[in-house]
Amino acid sequence: MLFSHPSDEKKSLGLKNDLLWNKAAVGKLVWWIHAKPDHLWVKWINHIYLKGKTWQNYSPPNDSSWYWRKICQVKFLLADAYNHDEWVDQKGREYTIKKGYEFLRTKGDKIEWMNLVWTNWSIPKHSMLSWFYHHNSLNTKEKLHKLGISENDTCIICENGTENNEHLFFQCEYSTAMLDIISSWVRVHLPSRDLLTWRLNMQGSSLQQDVINAIINATMYHVWRQRNLSKFELKLLTRKAVARDIVEEIKSRMRGMKLTKAGDGDRRWLELLTDRK
């Protein structure tokens, strides 16, 4: 299959556009015709289709096969990326599907918080909850009350404030106490106010930043889970018990990660974090 049906790119979800990726993959065939005259398939293309014509200015006849017309369509899409048969983003003539995809896709404004959510160190369900939070898609009581579904908008956990995103995760006494416990474990102060700004300006190596972001995502996930337990099962675990679960989850995640590119400083930091209770 040369082309697939396009899929809508979810804003900041980290998914590739499958249609453009497919076109970029077809671009590999376009580049082969440019750069690999001794390739058997390219020889066959030259004998059957090109017949001595230059590839750069070639247009397929109307009665040519469907797959050949699609290859030629991609050639025209990528035409501006070639300069005298050389791929413009490369020092040499080498074409890669990734580079082709980057050339074809429309580059919108960068979502500043995307890298805080989608890190290799975050457990996927934690990242997904964080993604919903940043899109204001969680059904908090404030939102349900405005829709007429909830009788009030009071925080279920502390019963002291409006249950919206900011209150539930960063102002509720339950969540702030849990952040304090997690802060003492990681030995980094995680401020409950302006946490997004703090995360965007966080100091330390990229690995340390990813781990701390994974910890924050895990904390948000468990706060939301406890909120739902309070609402639907009328029970709430202690902050220490939930914090302990968060620490064990992150430790388990760290033990399963490959550290082939980690420096000695990062390795020592992770070892200390894993041993610390």
Model confidence over 18-31: pLDDT tens digits?
Answer: 888 999 999 999 98
**pLDDT above 60 (res 85):** no
C-alpha 246 chain-centroid distance: 22
Tokens of 81: 């990326």
Question: Tokens 């102002």 correspond to what residue?
Answer: 171
Cα distance between residue 90 and residue 33, in whole Å = 17
Q: Which pLDDT score, from 0 to 100, does residue 5 have? A: 38
- State whether residue 154 is helix, strand or coil: strand
**pLDDT above 70 (res 14):** no
More confident residue, 223 or 20: 223
**pLDDT above 80 (res 277):** no
Cα distance between residue 166 and residue 163, in whole Å = 8
Q: Which pLDDT score, from 0 to 100, does residue 163 have? A: 97
Q: Which pLDDT score, from 0 to 100, does residue 8 have? A: 38
Q: Which pLDDT score, from 0 to 100, does residue 167 have? A: 95
**pLDDT above 50 (res 7):** no
Tokens of 41: 């398939």
Tokens of 190: 């995680």
Residue pair 142/164 in contact (Cβ under 8 Å)? The answer is yes
Residue 74's φ and ψ, nearest 5 degrees, are -65, -35
Tally of CA atoms within 13 A in the half-sphere of 140 that contains its CB:
23
Q: Which pLDDT score, from 0 to 100, does residue 11 have? A: 52
Q: Which pLDDT score, from 0 to 100, does residue 26 have? A: 93
Cβ-Cβ contacts under 8 Å for 216 (sequence gap 6 or more):
116, 130, 190, 195, 199
Q: Which pLDDT score, from 0 to 100, does residue 3 have? A: 42
Q: Which pLDDT score, from 0 to 100, does residue 96 have? A: 87
Q: Mean pLDDT across the stretch 216-221?
A: 96
205: left (phi over 0), alpha (psi -120 to 50) or beta: beta
How do residues 153-178 score in pLDDT, each as one tens digit? 999 999 999 999 999 999 999 999 99
Q: Which pLDDT score, from 0 to 100, does residue 115 have? A: 87
Residue pair 21/15 in contact (Cβ under 8 Å)? The answer is no
Pick from 32-36, 138-142, 179-183, 229-233: least confident: 32-36
**pLDDT above 60 (res 10):** no
At residue 107 the predicted structure's pLDDT band, cuts being 50, 70 and 90, is low
How do residues 127-160 score in pLDDT, each as one tens digit? 999 999 999 999 999 999 999 999 999 999 999 9
At residue 245 the predicted structure's pLDDT band, cuts being 50, 70 and 90, is very high
Mean pLDDT of the chain: 87
Residue 61's φ and ψ, nearest 5 degrees, are -70, 160
Cα distance between residue 45 and residue 24, in whole Å = 19
Cα distance between residue 181 and residue 166, in whole Å = 19
Q: Mean pLDDT across the stretch 70-76?
A: 91
Q: Mean pLDDT across the stretch 90-109?
A: 75
Residue pair 159/150 in contact (Cβ under 8 Å)? The answer is no
